[in-house]
Structure 1
Amino acid sequence: MSFIDSLRASLVSRFAMVLLLPLLGCGGGDDGKLSILLTDAPGDGIETAVVTISSIYLQGGDSEGGRVVLRDEPVTVSLLELANSTSELVSEAVVPNGDYDQLRFVITGGYLEARNADGTTSIFATSDDYAGLPEGAVVSGRLHMPSYGSSGLKVKFAEKLTIEGEQKILLVDFDVAQSFGKEAGNSGRWVMSPVIKSAELTASASIDVEVTLGAGVVLPTLEGQVLTLANLNAVLINAEGSRETLPLTDANADGTFEATFRFLIPGTFQVQVEAPVGVSLGTTPAQPVSVRLDSGRDSTQAFVVTSAQLP
């Protein structure tokens, strides 16, 4: 799939870097190659988050000036479209062998659409004429991105990234919920203040959630509709409190409803099953369940619904 096709098919206060997969270690004195994939954890209260990345480069190594440009063609990315998926930002860029301390993203513009308390939404942009705004958009206030358009957003590695002639793929996790915040005392301005999460360059993983209905358990009728497991959602909450929700489906009609959270940075997550508003669920095991996700090891969490009640 080409970069453009990848964008069509599918960047706050946290970035995290993880080595998704080492490929074809070739050794010798040849330069290495590096690809970068972008994923996202969704943001509660934010309807849209769009940024323009003008360039991406590595800092360090033995090249002149210590900088290796991976991408210098601007790309505008709608972050929330990347939840549970990825987009390719850099494809097999040639990188001289050496050790690199950090990755930098030069971000020159963006906007977000935030949900207000009354249910309406407001748009905050880096400028009224930001090119990434939808046609006819009315800008309510400013989105401030301190220095990211000049020195760039710095993503430090927990350990130096060593390139020794091999091909690597890096996964960048942009957590929308943690990366944008409303400035205190200033209702007309939001600020992008990423907090960089250091992580070892390790393999990402997935969590599969499986839900079955206990023997004799009948889901209630809500607003004239008899509920089924298809009306429930699987919920994943990361260590920073960001939530991702996926519908449960039974693709093979075997009675087990499933959802899969993909492209996860290793760490500890809370997993639970969520019913429509007004329905209280009992499950075995009791929820939420804490799941420790190790490097490159997918995990499965099964729930049995033991009761479902209306107030």
Structure 2
Amino acid sequence: MKQLLSYLAASVILVVAITACNEGVVGSTDGDTEEGVSLVSVYLTDAPGDVAAVWVEVEEIYLQGGSEGRVYLLDEPTELIELTSLVGLAEPLVLDAEVESDRYGQLRFVIGGAVLEAADGSVYSKDGTAHPEGLPTTGELHCPSCSQSGIKVVLQGDDITFDGGADDLLLDFDVTQTFGHRAGQSGRWIMRPVIHGVRMVEMGRISGTVALATDDAGEPVVTIPECPAGTPRTLADFVPTAFAVNLTDDEGSPIVRTGVTDADGNFRIYALAPDDYELSYLGQLQFESDDLVWDAEVEPFSVTVPEGTEVTDVAYTITGASCVPVGDTDA
């Protein structure tokens, strides 16, 4: 299977830790939390991507659709956060924000400034945001959906209810679907933030390996080319995907999750709600002048992810890899 990729292979995970209780809040640090109040904490982490660095400013995080209207978890902008420095780490954004225990229709993020530094050293900026190290701006980082109302988090269900006890929500900022390469010759990158949410107690994962096809002697029969010339590529550039069979977003489209592969060929697809998933991969990575094209097989083709379970032993075998000029392949 082939799918055009003009996005970055990475993911960012936000953990929203919610403790709600109608008779005092479990986990309260001071014991003074009022009845019917929830505590919300937000943490940020990242996985490696196909850029030198990405910085994002979060202006606001809020719940909407409850009895009190907008409920802000964060109402002051953060500093620029370097997403690509958070591999294996968690950055707290909000700690113990108090909200009423209630049912909320939406969770939204408002993104302010952003800077993307490409692998070739070029810099793309949103709204004139300066590169933290003073590098000159090359072009624009355009975000059509970054309105004042914020980015709607894709949740499994129509609302979020905080009604007592501890309730942790894992949010996956899908960088693979968020940052697109330059549109034609316009000298800009496109940013369309995609954030998925799943309750921690329900969260599942899919993991396994990615390997090159081998001959009878166990020697690889596939070589991963430089793409473009002079830029080495590895198994870390292979992006596995999982298509939900039953779950859809608020527009009725199947939910698609992307995974991250390390240079040794170990992959994981994080933050999956319980469902059946069909496995595939992004077969075409588009760079400035060339496309890296993968051909691969996966076993098994589909899996069931139960609540709170990691499905292991999924194996991708790469049967072909080539670098061709942009436009010379079929999407």
Q: TM-score, normalised by structure 1?
A: 0.63
Give CA deviations for 1:163-198 in whole Å, capped at 9, x if unaligned: 113332222211112112246455222232235657
Distance in 2 separating the partners of 1:160 and 1:179 = 23
Do the aligned partners of residues 259 and 198 (structure 1) sit closer, same or farther apart at CA in structure 2, a change above 3 Å counting? closer
The residue that corresponds to 1:124 in the other structure is 124
Larger RCO (CA under 8 A, 6+ residues apart):
1
Q: Which residues in structure 2 correspond to 1:187-226 (within 5 Å)?
A: 187-195=186-194, 203-209=202-208, 219=219
Q: Post-superposition shift, 1:125?
A: 0.3
Q: Does 1:103 align with 2:88?
A: no
Amino acid corresponding to residue 31 of structure 1 in structure 2: V
Q: Which residues in structure 2 correspond to 1:271-286 (within 5 Å)?
A: none
Residue in structure 2 matching 1:87, options 86, 91, 95? 91
8 Å CA contact 1:159–1:200 kept in 2: the answer is: no
Q: Which residues in structure 2 correspond to 1:15-30 (within 5 Å)?
A: 26-28=21-23, 29-30=35-36
Q: Post-superposition shift, 1:114?
A: 2.9
Q: Post-superposition shift, 1:289?
A: 3.9
Give CA deviations for 1:124-163 in whole Å, capped at 9, x if unaligned: 10244x24x1323121111123463622222254321111
Distance in 1 separating the partners of 2:18 and 2:62 = 20
Q: Does 1:33 align with 2:39?
A: yes
SS at match of 1:150: coil
User: Which ranges in structure 2 are unaligned for 5 or more consecutive residues?
Assistant: 1-7, 24-34, 223-233, 244-255, 282-295, 320-331
8 Å CA contact 2:171–2:195 kept in 1: the answer is: no
SS at match of 2:122: strand
Q: Post-superposition shift, 1:69?
A: 1.1
Distance in 2 separating the partners of 1:101 and 1:302 = 36
Give CA deviations for 1:226-253 in whole Å, capped at 9, x if unaligned: xxxxx987965124584521244xxxxx
Q: Post-superposition shift, 1:26?
A: 3.8
Residue in structure 2 matching 1:237, options 240, 251, 254? 240
Distance in 2 separating the partners of 1:100 and 1:219 = 55
Distance in 2 separating the partners of 1:193 and 1:211 = 28
SS at match of 1:178: helix
SS at match of 1:159: coil
Q: Which moved more, 1:186-195 or 1:236-245?
A: 236-245
8 Å CA contact 1:236–1:245 kept in 2: the answer is: yes
Q: TM-score, normalised by structure 2?
A: 0.60
The number of equivalent residue pairs is: 259
Distance in 2 separating the partners of 1:123 and 1:294 = 42
8 Å CA contact 1:38–1:173 kept in 2: the answer is: no
Q: Does 1:265 align with 2:263?
A: no
Distance in 2 separating the partners of 1:79 and 1:196 = 14
The residue that corresponds to 2:311 in the other structure is 299
Percentage identity across aligned positions? 33
The residue that corresponds to 1:59 in the other structure is 64
The residue that corresponds to 1:148 in the other structure is 146
Amino acid corresponding to residue 109 of structure 2 in structure 1: F
8 Å CA contact 1:108–1:149 kept in 2: the answer is: no
Do the aligned partners of residues 21 and 127 (structure 1) sit closer, same or farther apart at CA in structure 2, a change above 3 Å counting? closer
Distance in 2 separating the partners of 1:190 and 1:210 = 31
The residue that corresponds to 1:8 in the other structure is none
8 Å CA contact 2:16–2:42 kept in 1: the answer is: no
Amino acid corresponding to residue 58 of structure 2 in structure 1: I
8 Å CA contact 2:299–2:316 kept in 1: the answer is: no
Do the aligned partners of residues 190 and 237 (structure 1) sit closer, same or farther apart at CA in structure 2, a change above 3 Å counting? same
Give CA deviations for 1:41-80 in whole Å, capped at 9, x if unaligned: 6554x332211002211112122xx011112342222223
Q: Post-superposition shift, 1:96?
A: 0.3
Distance in 2 separating the partners of 1:156 and 1:245 = 23
The residue that corresponds to 1:5 in the other structure is none
Distance in 2 separating the partners of 1:113 and 1:57 = 29
SS at match of 1:148: coil
